Chains A and B, each alone.
Chain A
Amino acid sequence: MILSFLAGPLHAATKDGIVAGVVFSGDLPFYREIHEELVRRLFEKGYDKKVRFIIQRPNPDALAWSNAIRKMIAYDASLIIVYGSGAARAALYESSSVPIIYAAVYEPERSGIKGSNIRGVGYRIPVSSIIRYLRKTGDIKKIGVLYSDAEPSTKTQYDDVKAACESLSIDVVKIPIKRPSEIGRRLRLMSYDSLLLTSSALINKYFPDYILVFRKKPVPLAAIITGLEEYSVITLSTDPRKQGDILARNLIQFINNGDISGIENTELLKNSLTFNMRLAIDLGLDIPVELLTESDRVIK
């Protein structure tokens, strides 16, 4: 676990500034992009000198998140910023009084990320769209969904996949992951003809370590957050920059008012679609016209 201070325009604290603890779960590129946008927006709006960040990059597991949050509290942070539902849930467990602002949480309300001291920006991904596109790449009958019980939003995503597949005669294979080594083992043992990675920080961080195991079956992979487009045929993700933009707005509101009660929870529906056509060809999948014409980005 690394305790670090962000260099650059946000480094110096001012007399009237605040200290914000930031928890990156697994240091994912997706979260980094959100944070970069946050920093950029604060700088643009002249708030860069009014906040000092303490950044922690714990391993994505419940214990590490709790330890990171406790350190923030011990440091007397004015508020805690968390990325992802695992860190958000840990922050809620560890403190009922320190204000918490979250970003990048899938359907926060439904995932139990709520309380009087927590506000933030979440997102929605119509998983039915991912399934619709997956079905156009071949005869999909059994979709495996990797999720983590420690990250409640990822379980919500599993539930959404299950609901979307009910009327389509597609079986959904539940693949819960508690620790990294389980990814390889379950990929080997479970039977599926397509795979969906939820937004779990644990799974997105460690999945590439097991790519050779996964590649033994020529099945398409779909992802809900950006970062693994190299391995994923379809990625339908919320826009991390927009998440960062709203996070900056929320943080500025906190700096100005000193509390989070006025911050409205936002559930963003601003997604982008990436199609890895090169990978689809390598896997011998059908190339659906819709993915070619609709994707914001086609990897050739």
Chain B
Amino acid sequence: MKRLVVLTVLGCLLLSSQSVKAASGDKELLIGLIPEQNIFKQIERYKPLAIYLSKRTGIGVRLTILSRYGDIIDRFVQRGLDGAFFGDLTGALAIEKLDIEPLVRPENLDGSTSSYGYIIVRKDSGIRSVADMKGKVVAFVDRATVTGYLFPLAYFRSRGVKSLEGFFSEYYFTGSHDSSVYAVLDGRADIGCVKNTIYNNLVSRDPTIREELRIIAKSPLMPESTLCLRRDLPEEVKKSVKDVLLAMDRDREGRKILARLQAKRFVEASVEDFRPVYEMLETLGEDIETYQYRVR
């Protein structure tokens, strides 16, 4: 809880300095980000994109980062967001609960436009299967993620874990994928869950991480972070944003920004991309309408 308060306060401080002024007129878009990584890294990654978009579209783009995944659904209307980079489950939830339309999603450096989740443990933990996890501590990411919660939940259930409380000694939500990795590395949790793109990013900066961790399981492919905009925004605004993003790999500045996002380019996104999320929910017997995505 203390960690969340620190993040929220720091987030507010960051946001006050991250506004991108409207390039012309009063037009401005407020785009939300989920705390996929810690908020400093998220802002660092996306800020150049916001500046680029502002410059190329003539529409001011301002970023706001939410302290929790579920907040992006709850606060979309409350904060007057025009759009957001949604994750796998938050994207599906947004499609159901908010009147938004998927616009674009990044193509990763390896050419994929999807990501998957890993269940990780320390190599020296002696954990090789779910049976070895009894009585251990699990660090999930957030209830509103497939890679960071629903997939591991489905995986544990498929291997006979009837209730998390009865099987594990403790479980908690770290709030971001990289936090889940650090929790396992430090021995603050025995088992962690992380999206492959975040894991790869951490490993590329510190290869010793790969030496210390073992991947126990891998999820089906899930949609990458998808930019969705409010359906009722003017068509020319949506088109302009989409056109700029789809073409940004064709100019030098755009490619530089894409590299910081660890993306090759943006590709068109659609509601259909979220089908694997619905399938995962179905596996768990959950209905997206009633799914409790908030971390209490």
A-side interface residues toward B, CB under 8 Å?
A: 124-126, 128-129, 132, 164, 167-168, 236, 269-273, 289-290, 292-298
B3 adjacent to chain A (CB < 8 Å): yes
Contact: B179 with A294, CB < 8 Å?
yes
Is A129 within 8 A of B7, CB to CB? no
B185 touches A129 (CB 8 A): yes
Given A126-B122, A132-B206, decide whether A271 and B188 contact each other with a Cβ distance below 8 A.
yes
A296 and B188 form a contact (CB under 8 A): yes
- Is B212 part of the contact surface with A, judged by Cβ < 8 Å? yes
Q: How far is the CA of A167 from the CA of B212 in the complex (A)?
A: 13
Contact with A along B276-294 (1 / 0, CB 8 A): 0000000000000000000
Cα A132 to Cα B3 in complex, Å, equals: 20
Complex CA gap A290/B38 in Å reads 8
Interface contacts beyond A236-B187, A293-B7: sample of 13 additional A-B pairs, CB < 8 Å, sorted by A: A129-B182, A129-B185, A132-B208, A164-B208, A269-B122, A269-B187, A270-B137, A270-B187, A270-B188, A289-B38, A294-B179, A296-B2, A298-B6
Name A124's closest neighbour in chain B (CB-CB).
B187
Interface SS of chain A:
mixed
A297-B124 Cα distance, complex, nearest whole Å = 26
> Which among B6, B186, B188 is the interface contact of A293 at CB below 8 angstroms?
B6
A126–B208 contact, CB under 8 A? no
| Closest beta carbon of chain A to B179's beta carbon, Å | 6
Residues of chain A lying within 8 A (CB to CB) of residue B6: 292-293, 298
Give complex CA distance A125, B41 in Å: 27
- Which of A129, A269, A272, A273 is in CB contact (< 8 Å) with B190? A269
Number of A-B contacts (CB under 8 A): 64
| Cβ–Cβ < 8 Å partners of A124 in chain B | 124, 187
With an 8 Å Cβ cutoff, the count of chain B residues facing the other chain is 26
Are A126 and B185 in contact, CB atoms less than 8 angstroms apart? yes
B10 on interface, CB distance cutoff 8 Å: yes
Chain B's closest residue to A133 (CB) is B186
Question: Which B residues are in CB contact (< 8 Å) with A273?
Answer: 186, 188
For A271, what are the chain B residues with a Cβ–Cβ distance below 8 Å?
Answer: 186-188
Residue of A nearest to B10 (CB): A292
Question: Across the interface, which residues of A come within 8 angstroms of B124, CB to CB?
Answer: 124, 126
| In the complex with contacts A132-B206, A168-B208, A269-B125, A290-B182 CB distance below 8 A | yes
In this complex, the member of A128, A293, A294, A295 whose beta carbon has the largest number of chain B beta carbons within 10 angstroms is A293
**Most central of A164, A236, A289 by chain B CB within 10 Å:** A289
Instruction: Collect the chain B residues with CB atoms within 8 Å of residue A296's CB.
Output: 2-3, 188
Q: CB distance A126 to B186 under 8 Å?
A: yes
Output the least CB separation between B148 and chain A (Å).
16
7 contacts between A and B (CB under 8 A): A128-B208, A167-B208, A269-B187, A270-B137, A272-B188, A273-B188, A294-B182
Instruction: Specify which chain A residues have a CB less than 8 angstroms from the CB of B41 in the assembled complex.
Output: 289
Return the chain B residue nearest A107 by Cβ: B124
Residues in chain B near residue A126, CB distance under 8 A: 122, 124, 185-187, 212
B6-50 toward A: CB 8 Å interface, digit per residue (1/0)? 110010000000000000000000000000001011000000000
| Alpha-carbon gap, A237 to B206, bound state (A) | 23
Closest A-B pairs by Cβ, 8 of them: A271-B187, A269-B187, A129-B186, A293-B38, A289-B40, A294-B182, A129-B185, A126-B187
Asked if A293 contacts B3 (CB within 8 A), the reply is yes
| Bound form: Cα–Cα A296–B212 in Å | 22
Interface residue ranges of B37-81 to A (CB < 8 Å):
38, 40-41
B183 located at the interface, meaning its Cβ lies under 8 Å from any Cβ of chain A in the complex: yes
